[in-house]
Amino acid sequence: MFSKILIANRGEIACRIIRTARRLGVRTVAVYSDADIGAMHVALADEAIHIGAAAAGESYLSKEKIIAAAGRANAEAIHPGYGFLSENADFAEAVEKAGLVFIGPSPGSIRAMGLKDAAKALMERAGVPVVPGYHGERQEPGFLIEQAGSIGFPVLIKARAGGGGKGMRRVDRPDDFPAALEAAKREAKSAFGDDAVLIEKYLIQPRHIEIQVFGDSQGNVVHLFERDCSLQRRHQKVIEEAPAPGMTQEMRSAMGEAAVRAARAIDYRGAGTVEFIADVSNGLSPDHFFFMEMNTRLQVEHPVTEAIAGVDLVEWQLRIAGGEPLPKTQAELAINGWAFEARIYAEDPSRGFLPATGTLSHLRFPDGDVRIDAGVREGDSITPHYDPLIAKLTVHAPDRQAALARLTRALEQTQVAGATTNLDFLIRLSRQPDFCAGRPDTGLIDREAETLTSAQQPDDAALAIAAIVEAGGFARLDGSDPWHALGAWQLWGEMSRPVTLHFGSEQTNCRVIAKGGQLFSVAFDDRTIPVRLMADGNGVRRVEIDGRQSSVDIFEASHGMTLFLDGRTHHFHRLDPLDGGEEATAGGDRLIAPMPGLVKIVRVREGEAVAKGQALIIMEAMKMELTLTAMRDGVVESLHVGEGDQTSESAVLLLLRPEDMA
């Protein structure tokens, strides 16, 4: 076992590695950028070394700076985590040349699986089934569209390097292929420095099922069963589970054996995941699954495997990198119960999962038997520099039904204020009938997008409570009764106050009436809602509306309030009197940057007529491309940015004027 390791990563995975290392008595060294000087992983590590600016290319992707930091700290080994340099063979090679141990596979194994086209050819030779498609070197657009036609639409364009959904586009019609190819290549070049792609047959009703494998230096390889990662948006996983619903022992054995063959074919050492796509149009079948790729690192979703197999995969990584044999044989591994993991992101599902930034002014996770892997704390900021993951929430129970119920409950108990999150989306997804019935597939979220991602309007209870808060009817906690009614209102009987509530792009007007004591009425144009305020002996706030009591948590800030009620999160904002109002919104004449980012492509010129929904500017922010479209028909009056410009959040990118204006 090592005495000191450096973690070449940040955020949640760095914190997770530190915790296992600490349990094993291994000292840890964190690295940090300018943006992460006060980050959670820096605080948890035994020591930390600054490695550069906020941009990943100047810090977390700098091989030289990270290896120099390891030498400075006298670390014996480097753990790459996932993302960044975790699957960079040149980095692994440089680590070894520096006399350090790379906690992961050999550079040769990484290279063998690093390019998807070469990996598929290797897997075919090893007898592992692969998805039909074109995996060659030729990249001329005309040739690639010919190959797509031969394969048969729909097809999937995939970057041959990297992963995480970057450089990936589904194409249903030949006419759409050129634009999709251009976008996939551009995104792949930006993310991985390699714009080569491959073309695969797109399966209409697929399941994404992957196998966790582990190898040691003695030539032993085992698999730790499967994970179902079919619930995806933009080819990125949302909720994962283990084992896979509907999996038969025959298919589990076939997939496990294929994954082990894949690992043996490249003399694999350490943690890896072999990803398969399964055609479930006629149910799960051992002869209808195909190799997609192998991730030569620890996966984000590894906690569900740890839960059902009863192991610590990071401990296994450390032991195997130190030369020890695998802790268990295949015969000693068994599945115990069911586990789900949900990824809680700062993003807006109602706006196409647009990543969000902000300061986490309030952050609460559920108590009890729930695993939380987080890289942020209350008060930390979600910045545009890195992935907007807030936390991973993992639950485990004896069976799928119990585990799913526990997942929903845990999500309902999670509270985040200060940034838009996908919590409501995750809760709705956990209750989606097909998913609950064990019928997930990679197209489910897209098919149910309207139901799952539409912005939820606050119900009467939320509106009434928010109105009373806004009117001043909720005193701040002062060590006594937290639900004091406004004393001034009680002097001469009933008093009232008008309130305007703002939520999303909408608002509603009402009047709050103090009835005396803890009773209020909230009058809207067409209804009046009676509300009784209460608190239990522990100071927990409760409300009674129409004879039904609920617990409620309220977090207030200068810009508004966040209400946590019945497992839902409601954000109400207060208007800034200096704000430009509707003129500055997406529905007016100004195209606004939704977050800080880089202007990649400007598709229009000044004076050009555009139609509503037409792509105007393509930005890159938080590791993804954002296509900004015309808010309405009009003419581009002025452009305020050019290609290559960095822009701040809410910056005006261009102005439109009506077509008929002189």
What residues are annotated to the active site? 297
For residue 646, what are the β-bridge partners?
598
Nearest to 291 by CA among 200, 181, 195: 200
Taken in order 301, 303, 305, 311, the sign of the CA dihedral is positive
* Degrees to nearest 5, angle at CA 237 with 234 and 242: 155
User: Dihedral, CA atoms, 168, 174, 178, 182, nearest 10 degrees?
Assistant: 0
Residue 47 amino acid letter: E
Distance of CA 646 to CAs 320, 406, 532, 639, Å?
44, 43, 51, 14
CA dist 260 → 127, 225, 257, 658 (Å): 11, 11, 5, 62
CA angle 274, 278, 283 (to 5 degrees): 145
| CA–CA dist 657, 636 (Å, integer) | 7
Q: Do 392 and 303 touch, CB atoms closer than 8 A?
A: yes
Reference 474, options 561, 571, 365, 364; nearest CA is: 561
- Pairing, β 197-201 against β 236-242: unpaired
CB 600, CB 619: distance < 8 Å: yes
Where is 44: in which H helix or E strand? Answer: helix 40-44
Nearest to 653 by CA among 571, 592, 579, 577: 592
Helix (H) or strand (E) holding 321: helix 313-321
Q: Around Cβ 500, how many Cβ atoms within 10 Å? A: 12
The structure tokens 């060659």 sit at 136
Q: Specify the residue for token string 């910045």.
A: 383
Supply the angle between the helices 89-97 and 107-114 in degrees, to the nearest 10.
170
Which amino acid is present at 374?
A
Exposure class string for 527-555: b at 16+ Cβ within 10 A, else e? eebebbbebeeeeebebebeeeeeebebb
Nearest by Cα to 38 from 381, 344, 387: 381
Place of tokens 């690992």: 263
CA distance 163 to 159: 8
